[in-house]
Chain A
Amino acid sequence: MTSKDDESIFGDPGDALRLIERERGNTMRHVTPDPRLMYWPWGLTWLISFGLSFLRFGPDGRTLVAMPAWVPMTALTALLIAAGIFTGIVGARSSRDIAGRSSRQGLMYGISWSAGFTSLAVIFGRVSDSMPEPLLGLLWGGGMVALVGVLYMAGSAIWVERDMFVLGAWISVVNVIGVLWGPGWHALVLAVAGGGGLLVAGLVGWLRRR
């Protein structure tokens, strides 16, 4: 059942090139997730939970806004789980019914994240008891965020995405600056520069693929 239109050729080579561009763009939007949906949940998670952490455990041990001590950590855990589930579903939806190299790459990359976080959680949990309170936040926050920065940079090498490399490098740099600045300030840096960086990455990625 081939209609005449299907077999039609193009009078103008430019029409053919435009059709190719349109079809490639359309396919790309189908098989890769919307960058906003992949980055914004993490950006909001960092903005909110590190923001709460800064307000509760501010610089020099000050409490800028009174709230129970468990609130920032609980918010962080809950939001991380929610963002993880959400982005997992969005990512799986876009790569569904496509088998082969890219799904193996995605799987291995996903396992790398889990392995990295599990390792650090075990190590940090083991040494946490013997650490002074103010340094605990730096250890957990700084360590985990260092891992995030490195994994984004490594991901950029897999998918050859320059923007993802810039994001990973940015996160790595602001994290180190925050750690050197000290407890309290670190949380502020992660909330504003880290969370902001993730929000910008989602926006830039979305603008590029429109």
Chain B
Amino acid sequence: MTAIDGDLPELDPVIHAQARLRVVAALSQLDGGDRIAFPRLQEILRMTAGNLSVHLRKLEEAGYVEVTKTHRGRTPATLVHLTNRGRFAFEEYVNALRTLIQPGEETS
């Protein structure tokens, strides 16, 4: 693929924001069939609950993450999961970044 100037890829605005990129990058490291509890994700990302909620909602609106409320015994639990669509969008985003750094080079 040879990209010429002006033909550079668009960066997905949902992912292309520091906090949401961190969320998606972290979730992408988990197995596709896994769901992580909200407080654990918060601990890994070192974000406040309010902040993480805001960004998760934006990612959820875009269909990139799925947030499910469930119960563990009597305590309610919120589980977060990167959807196939979110995983694909993240891969596209990473490919776009690589193309921006080295336009015209094949990216793997």
Contact = CB atoms under 8 A, between A and B. Distances in A.
Query: Is B a genuine binding partner of A?
Result: yes
A14 B102 CA distance: 10
Interface stretch (A26-34, A138-146, A149-157): A26-34
Task: Classify the interface of chain B: helix, strand, loop or mixed.
Answer: helix
Nearest to A101: B33
Contacts of A121: none
Main secondary structure of the interface of A (DSSP, over half): helix
Chain A: interface size category: 20 to 34
Nearest to A19: B21
B22 interface: yes
B26 A23 contact: yes
B18 A26 contact: no
Interface of B: 11, 16-22, 25-26, 28-37, 39-40, 43-45, 48, 50-51, 54-55, 79, 81, 94, 97-98, 100-101
Interface of A: 1-3, 5-10, 13-14, 16-17, 19-20, 23-24, 26-28, 30-31, 96-103
Given A6-B20, A99-B37, 8 more contacts: A2-B54, A8-B18, A9-B18, A17-B98, A23-B45, A26-B44, A27-B26, A101-B32
